Structure 1
């Protein structure tokens, strides 16, 4: 099982399915079938199926046709959800910058992204169940080869984020100290391009949050979030 899993994990193609149940035949969606055709895979080629909720299957292409592409599941593995207890919370980037941020956070192993609505937020609404967002998260899983999709929560304000957190809290601040986060950090907060308002800054300090700088210059939301994710990973690995 272990050796087979390693082989499948580096497969050139990961395909999303709604449910990974048991060994047997399953039809791919039209979109995933197009990916198979684009890669010019043949009957017998190995692929990986995943549902984004921890179930992953090693499979082989059984038939490829214009109307239907069928794969045969050979083994199923249930991957436990990573339990780091860490949440990255940020203001919501505009347009395609949101997609860029979510893809990078997925690749960097972040488990949960908490959207924030702040005093100077340009974007104040986000539907975690939107089809566009779901497509972004699925594609991010494929690139990152991760069994669990990034958990995107409904937007909240700063007070709720702080009051619901137990453990070390950090926030992005150009005037803060540099370096990695505390390995036990439970929450990292990233403000909008304009930064946290004076009232929010006071609220952060009153909650015991520590400022952390990721660069000498001002950063866009997605850049700061990605830098913060890297700082978190470095802290966990050292």
Structure 2
């Protein structure tokens, strides 16, 4: 069933409209017609089964037939990662959103090669939304502002969330016990974290975790963390 997004959808909604962009997608890509049924998410746990009442390129209107609410996962995972280049970045965001990652933080490291501009953040948000609709995930992965390692450590301390970083010398994620249900895992660029960044993690008592016996690309490491976390 085709899935669409409407951030104004709530538990009391009876009629909703799609944005012009979503309406055009319904017409041109999905080739939907009046009477067709679709799924609509609001990105905050609500999924509605709807039928198309009217359909035009500016705003398709839908009648809500039923509404379900899915609670957020009890174990929340944030991934703070250096950005890989090109299609690899889109693949990473797509897979993390499908796996139910709660938040993604672009991480600026000493060895980073990909910068995170305002337009890049918009792309990441679009990739996350597309993945949530495709996978019928009712919880939209939040895309945060870019952080340096020091800013990430400061934020984790304020939020009282557990923090770890991916490193080939640490223990496995499955063997680690964390004091919080909210975990943030930092993943460096393919050049790795700098000695100063590793020292900063150590001072913050953030443990290193090992994801396998081989050296992983940045996007592969991020997806491996998410897959291992939901399997706990």
Q: TM-score range by the shorter chain?
A: 0.7 to 0.9
What is residue 6 of structure 2 aligned with on the other side? 17
**2:167 is matched with which residue: 165, 173, 180?**
173
Contact 2:23 2:56 in 1 (8 A): no
Determine whether 1:228 maps to 2:222. no
Contact 1:128 1:152 in 2 (8 A): no
Contact 1:89 1:115 in 2 (8 A): yes
Which stretch shifts more, 45-54 or 135-144?
Answer: 45-54
Once the two structures are TM-superposed, the CA of residue 98 in structure 1 deviates from its matched residue by 1.6
Determine whether 1:57 maps to 2:48. yes
Give structure 1 stretches of 5+ with no counterpart: 1-11
Contact 1:118 1:196 in 2 (8 A): yes
Once the two structures are TM-superposed, the CA of residue 86 in structure 1 deviates from its matched residue by 3.3
TM-score (normalizing by structure 2): 0.82
Closer, same or farther: CA 171–71 of 1 in aligned 2, 3 Å: same
Q: In 1, Cα distance between the equivalents of 2:76 and 2:106?
A: 17
Which stretch shifts more, 155-164 or 165-174?
Answer: 165-174
* 1:127-138 matched pairs, under 5 angstroms: 127=118, 130-138=121-129
Pairwise CA RMSD: 2.7
Q: In 1, Cα distance between the equivalents of 2:62 and 2:81?
A: 40
Q: In 1, Cα distance between the equivalents of 2:165 and 2:119?
A: 23
Determine whether 1:193 maps to 2:190. yes
Determine whether 1:210 maps to 2:224. no
TM-score (normalizing by structure 1): 0.80
Determine whether 1:117 maps to 2:108. yes
* 1:68-79 matched pairs, under 5 angstroms: 69-77=60-68, 79=70
